[in-house]
Structure 1
Amino acid sequence: MPHSARLRAGRFSEPQHIYLLTATTENRETLFSNFTIGRLVVAELKAAQQDGLAESLAWVVMPDHLHWLIALQQGSLSELMRRIKGRSAKRINALASRQGKLWQDGFHDRALRREEDVLPAARYIVANPLRAGLVNRVGDYPLWDSVWL
């Protein structure tokens, strides 16, 4: 079974539940090292929230992937990620004068079942640049946010 099909096996989307979503660029290309390009992904996360699809709890746009902690509001996780990835790819490809796939197929999701799992997941997300050695302090990384500021 292809990797992307395994990622979809057993996926269940339920509004008002909290999910940790991860998506990776095609071939782990470090496109989001460019701040302007990374901000285009952020704009799509914010648009999804404004459109009532998901409440963003925490996110980080790393050089080659995205972690996004959400409370799903409507639709499915697949629909939400298809929108984020499709719209961001279109905008980034136009801005960077590039063509082709920007994101790997599929995405990883993990449902957080207990309330006490949410804050540790948010901390994991925002500390990702620190663990990766990109910054010395979490606040020095420009492409993250959390409702627990």
Structure 2
Amino acid sequence: MDMHVDDRFRGHRALRRGRVSLPGQVYHVTASTLGRRPWFADFHVGCEAVRAFHQQVALADARLLAWVLMPDHGHWLLQMGECMPLERVVSRLKAASGVRANRMLARAGPLWEPAFHDRALRCEDDLFVVARYIIANPVRAGLVERIGDYPFWDSAFL
């Protein structure tokens, strides 16, 4: 595909128009792999991607409160810091995990779709509900019967 970068991200930028990233705000972010390819069904590829989630350089001063990595998408519960907007933190998380996963897959190119979905949480009570929802994804998808049997998740609340 020979598409100019501006054309490729035009729809993504339109989705972000009018949205703001607030310091201290918590967001539930969902991102899909390119073409919904199940790259992370391979345990070793998943391990490499997860290592990137814990790199402070990718997060800057944002905090990763909960996350789950599914075979073809990821969910993150992020609390924003002062120095970087949500779009940039998510971009850095996807880039860092993509580089590590691509190395394991012996491939090059984008691993994640350029766009992502986010929802700002409105109150403290939502944190625990959303964290439980995020973590329960592998159970709902039928990948495991108990979340403890799934290797790719974490939560600051447990």
Q: Distance in 2 between matches of 1:51 and 1:120?
A: 23
Which of 95, 111, 119 pairs up with 2:104? 95
1:136 aligns with 2:145: yes
Residues 102-117 of structure 1: pairs in structure 2 closer than 5 A: 102-117=111-126
Unaligned runs of 5+ in 1: none
Instruction: Spell out, residue by residue over 1:30-69, the C-alpha distance to the aligned partner (whole angstroms, 9 max, x if none).
Output: 0011122112222221113786422111100000001000
State the 1:102 CA deviation: 0.7
* 1:59 equivalenced with 2:58 (yes/no): no
CA contact (8 A) 1:38 1:143 kept: yes
Alignment of 1:6-85 (within 5 A): 6-48=14-56, 52-73=60-81, 74-85=83-94
Contact residue 61 and residue 80 of structure 2 kept, 8 A: yes
Number of aligned positions between the proteins: 149
Report the 3-state secondary structure (helix = DSSP H, G, I; strand = E; otherwise coil) of the residue aligned with 2:55: helix
**Cα pair 1:69 1:122 within 8 Å, conserved:** yes
Q: Compute the RMSD of aligned alpha carbons.
A: 1.9
Q: CA 1:49–1:124 in 2, change beyond 3 Å: closer, same or farther?
A: farther
Structure 2: how far apart are the matches of 1:65 and 1:10?
A: 25
Alpha carbons of 1:57 and 1:142: their partners in 2 closer, same or farther (altered >3 Å)? same
* Larger CA Rg, structure 1 vs 2: 2
Once structures 1 and 2 are overlaid, which stretch shifts more, 101-110 or 42-51? Answer: 42-51
Whole-angstrom CA distance in 2 between matches of 1:56 and 1:31: 22
Alignment gaps of 5+ in structure 2: 1-9
Normalising by structure 1, report the TM-score. Answer: 0.91
Q: Distance in 1 between matches of 2:59 and 2:14?
A: 29
Percent identical: 45
